Chains A and B, each alone.
Chain A
Amino acid sequence: MTRSPYLCRCAPALLGVFCTFAVLTIANSSERQAHGQSDAATKGLEIAKEASRRDDGFGDSQALLTMAMTIQGGQTINREMRQKVLEVEGDGDKIMMVFDRPRDLKGTAILTFTHKREPDEQWVYLPALKRVKRISSADRSGPFMGSEFAYEDLSSQEVEKYSYLYLRDEEWDGQLCFVVERTPIDPNSGYTRQITWIDQQEYRPLRVDYYDRKNELLKTMTASNFSQYLNQYWRPAEMVMYNHQNGKQTSLLFSDYNFRVGTRESDFTPNALTRAR
């Protein structure tokens, strides 16, 4: 199990959390704490907004995605798909995923309209059935394709989907970060809260700790090998999700990023799904 290096890296951070908490509890009167809370909330929201602002205007993007799951015996299972994203002004992005591998899933496509406040909408095209179906599910917090990622971890991270609380500054992976706690607004979210590490230079989320519905640490996601595109937009080449409760891990590898390839609104409709292949 690849647990130890991770825990080693996390340990100082966890210790930091504990110490901060202890100091806060001892030093602050409840009034000052309440005041501090609202300050922290404002600062947390500002950080999220800034991160979102820096990502504005990318238009559309495409990337190849490989999902690698390590199972017992060290065997790795790979799934390959293409991800297309269309930025929508004033609302959440539109995301299309088209599967290439395994062979049985080739051409299967999922279209998601993410929304800032309402639940996301989703359509699926199954080539074996040659039909597009709209899928209603209030709660998509389950694992995505048997991986350690949940659908909601991969969906568009709109600012409005969470409330925020700035916790502290902390170095992570050699970069000074804001550590911000965010709480999902959606009651059907699989998480009570997430702790994010956002680097102060470029406002990229480098690490996210996910706490499950009983507020126990469930997973940690780390993003790495960032590249900058169009001189502005940072994208990771690798995201690794480690599940602390079952010891399993999934990697997502991104490659062949392309921005502003000229996809149009009409390429992101349920009907367009049949042509996605």
Chain B
Amino acid sequence: MASLFDKRAPRPDIAHVGMGDKGATGLMPAQDRFINLILQYPLWMLTINAALVAVIAIGASRLQVETGIDIFFADDDPNLLAQRSLDETYGREDNILFIVEAVNGDIFTPENLISLVALTLEAWQMPNSRRVDSVTNYLYPTVDGDDIIIAPLLDKAAQLDTAKISGIRDLALSEDALVGRLLSSDAAVTGVNVSLNLNLREKAGEVDESVSFARQLAAQIENSNSNLRVYLAGWAVTEQTLAEVTTEDSSLLIPVLFVVVLVLLAFLLRSPFASLCTVIVILLSIAVGMGFAGWAGVGLNSVNVSAPTIIMTLAVADCVHIFSAFLRQLREGMPKRRALEYGLRDTLYPIALTSVTTALGFLSMNFSDSPPFAQLGNVAAVGVLGALWASVTILPGLILLLPFRTKEGVSTGLPMDGLARFVLSHQAWLRWGFTASIVIIVSFIPRIDLNDDPSGYFSEAIPLYHAINMIDSRLSGSQSIHYSIEAIDGESISDPDYLEQVAKFVNWLREQPEVTNVESFTDTLKRLNQVMHDNSQEWFRLPDSNEMASQYVLLYEISVPYGQDVTHQINASKSALKISATVTNQQSSGLIAFEERTRLWLEENTPDIASRGTGQSLSFANIGLRNIHSMLYGSLVAIILISICLIIAFRSIKFGIVSLIPNLFPAFVTLGLWSIFVGEVNIAASVVFSITLGIIVDDTTHFLVRYRQARLIHSLSAEDAIRYTFNSVGGALVTTSVALAAGFFVLVASDFSVNSTSGLLVALTIFMAILLDLLWLPTLLIKADRWLVQRKPDQDQLEAPV
């Protein structure tokens, strides 16, 4: 048997073209008419359809970029509501933090203080600045006889003598509000925090303005004082850095990715023109997807921006299938037009099946409760269908227009037949070896840590990486949680009972190991009380009546400078206080767990003031975990839905179930390997599934369609059917996989860890998909043959081999 196929491996030729599949026979006349139409009027088809694509593509000009966190949440999400109310009441959290490190180990030297005062003053000039907080402008009420003096710790460093400096140093180091937030406990590192008022609509431009100013100012301070090193962090800097690294990637690495894919295609298909046509189809498909997004009013955001990449993978796969079939016949001497007809007949059905099922899979992402994922699903679904559309209506015209070499003897050069022989002769080894390895690898998945935290987004080449390190290791914590604590029964914050409970909470927070600082107006009230009682230590406590507290607040309010008011700590109606806890960098799940712990403590110990923590750190932690979960479950649902489609298409539940194996395991194995070697996965993991979904389904569908055709229609034995399948689609699958895996591997060079990780994961998953499809799936199909194909005798009778 084997020797028979060695020489004349069953190759699909014109005689048994078509799907020959029982389930699809009804489509055959329609398919033939369609192919005839395309081949009869190729240029008309090309022109008309290109024009239609152009009309859709116009929509892309309506695309607008969306930023902010609101887009990730449903409108009634408690987290979003808490964050919004916090922003509206106390002002947005957007900030730029200058981290100043004294190389000589002490910030409190005359030269360093002069620089720090200058930095604090200059920071006011930052575009969009709203308030500036530093050690030097920290307001500290003091007493001088009957006079109360509310003044910054230090306005003019120039006049200070060493005794005075050491006094200020001791004072600053004893202030709860400063240490662990703006001052390190060893006084070697300090922070100057600039709060920004950003207009949400023009945010990108305003962030750019503020960050550019901050960078210049930091450089200026470093130049004027060689003792100081200035780092920049904060939300605005994170946002700006994200924008910069993603821009760099999309202007450098993404183009390189495309070039690598196309060069490899040209090489593997041995035809530069095939590669050129593929470029055109890719661009047209993306135009369809993004044009649709524009017309549908979808805004571009960090999630759905990966749609073009997803669309690209399927456009590549579609083209490679058509080209493989076409070029093979062409190189075997068939006239061009007939070779093309052959290519289309041979591939139209599996391509259409892959595209439609993948599109349906993507549409299932509409079940996600995070809007950007639903949008990504819809745009990718339309783009995938666009890829199908472009490759069957426009590509044939291009092929007929362009000169393709008809020289004989040039083959794709992939020894698929040899590979089939290898798989068949070592099938037992492969089957058990792979099964065992996969079971072991997959068993590691539960150990993986899902984590998404912006501080881990950047490589060491990015300054922000060092700034965040500096904050977490030397100064304070890079995350913060805020609590807007309402007065009891909607009364006033001056209520002594309320203040007592808040202070209790603040004390408890300060004892928590992850907390480096807690900022609370209760501290200011205690200090004011002391100051009003002639600075006597015993009065360093909360005021004991409503009136007293209210009057202290008023006194303080009328005495503070612009930009150092208490509106960021007390709401306008004086019915709520904001408590801010600075926390050392926790993983997303750690931060969420910390918030839950504090909420529980509040409910148990101070139920009257129970409230939830909120803020951007927490929102991002939530978004990260949600996105990862949305994407993982969304993709899982998609794959199951795709298998149901295949069950219908194959009219066989068993084949549908078998299709789950090659559809699910590539990503599982990748995640398992990642768990073993890396352990922690960020939001990159979520895009991996969606980007590879199309290519995995493509591998599976083409393989199984071909195998079924060989096994059931041509009544080949299971082993011969494998060989047939390898020979007819193996080359195309390997070509697509190699080109795309190599392309995505380029992203590993990114300084943005989401891109570098996802590039690596996507490449690995594509590699796993082809590896499992060629080396593992065949051995399972052979083993399960009796179960899969029970009605073999009937089949033989009904459809005898041609």
CA distance in complex: A277, B171 (Å): 38
* B110 contacts chain A at the CB level, 8 A cutoff: no
Q: For window 130-168 of chain B, which residues contact chain A by CB distance below 8 Å?
A: 130, 144, 146-151
Interface centre among B124, B557, B558 (most CB of A within 10 A): B558
* B302 contacts chain A at the CB level, 8 A cutoff: no
Residues of A within 8 A of B547 (CB): 104-105, 127-128
Q: Which 3 A-B pairs have CB atoms at the shortest separation, nearest pair first?
A: A104-B550, A190-B562, A141-B562
Q: For window 216-254 of chain A, which residues contact chain B by CB distance below 8 Å?
A: 216, 245-246
* A117 contacts chain B at the CB level, 8 A cutoff: no
The verdict on A143 contacting B573 (CB below 8 Å), with A72-B89, A127-B547, A136-B151 known, is: no
* B630 contacts chain A at the CB level, 8 A cutoff: no
A272 to chain B minimum Cβ distance, whole angstroms, is 16
Residues of A within 8 A of B550 (CB): 102, 104-105, 128
A212 to chain B minimum Cβ distance, whole angstroms, is 8
The verdict on A214 contacting B555 (CB below 8 Å), with A133-B532, A137-B150, A190-B561 known, is: no
B546 touches which one: A104, A129, A132, A138 (CB < 8 A)? Answer: A104
CA distance in complex: A245, B784 (Å): 70
CA distance in complex: A133, B565 (Å): 21
Residues of A within 8 A of B559 (CB): 135, 137, 140, 142
B562 touches A104 (CB 8 A): no
* A144 contacts chain B at the CB level, 8 A cutoff: yes
A71 touches B561 (CB 8 A): no
* A98 contacts chain B at the CB level, 8 A cutoff: no
* B437 contacts chain A at the CB level, 8 A cutoff: no
B492 touches A136 (CB 8 A): no
Closest-by-CB residue of B relative to A212 is B562
The verdict on A69 contacting B572 (CB below 8 Å), with A102-B550, A135-B150 known, is: yes
* B129 contacts chain A at the CB level, 8 A cutoff: yes
Pairs across A and B, CB under 8 Å, 8 listed:
A71-B573, A105-B547, A137-B150, A137-B561, A139-B562, A140-B558, A146-B557, A246-B91
* B424 contacts chain A at the CB level, 8 A cutoff: no
B148 touches A135 (CB 8 A): yes
Residues of B within 8 A of A15 (CB): none
A133 touches B146 (CB 8 A): yes
* A51 contacts chain B at the CB level, 8 A cutoff: no
A142 touches B561 (CB 8 A): yes
B147 touches which one: A134, A138, A144 (CB < 8 A)? Answer: A134
Closest-by-CB residue of A relative to B531 is A133
Residues of A within 8 A of B88 (CB): 72
B561 touches A134 (CB 8 A): no
Closest-by-CB residue of A relative to B543 is A128
Closest-by-CB residue of B relative to A150 is B562
Closest-by-CB residue of A relative to B121 is A213
Q: For window 51-98 of chain A, which residues contact chain B by CB distance below 8 Å?
A: 69, 71-72, 75, 77
Residues of B within 8 A of A135 (CB): 147-150, 555, 558-559
The verdict on A71 contacting B554 (CB below 8 Å), with A136-B151, A137-B149 known, is: no
Residues of B within 8 A of A124 (CB): 555, 558
B532 touches which one: A126, A136, A144, A213 (CB < 8 A)? Answer: A126
B113 to chain A minimum Cβ distance, whole angstroms, is 19
* A9 contacts chain B at the CB level, 8 A cutoff: no
A161 to chain B minimum Cβ distance, whole angstroms, is 16
* B663 contacts chain A at the CB level, 8 A cutoff: no
B147 touches A136 (CB 8 A): yes
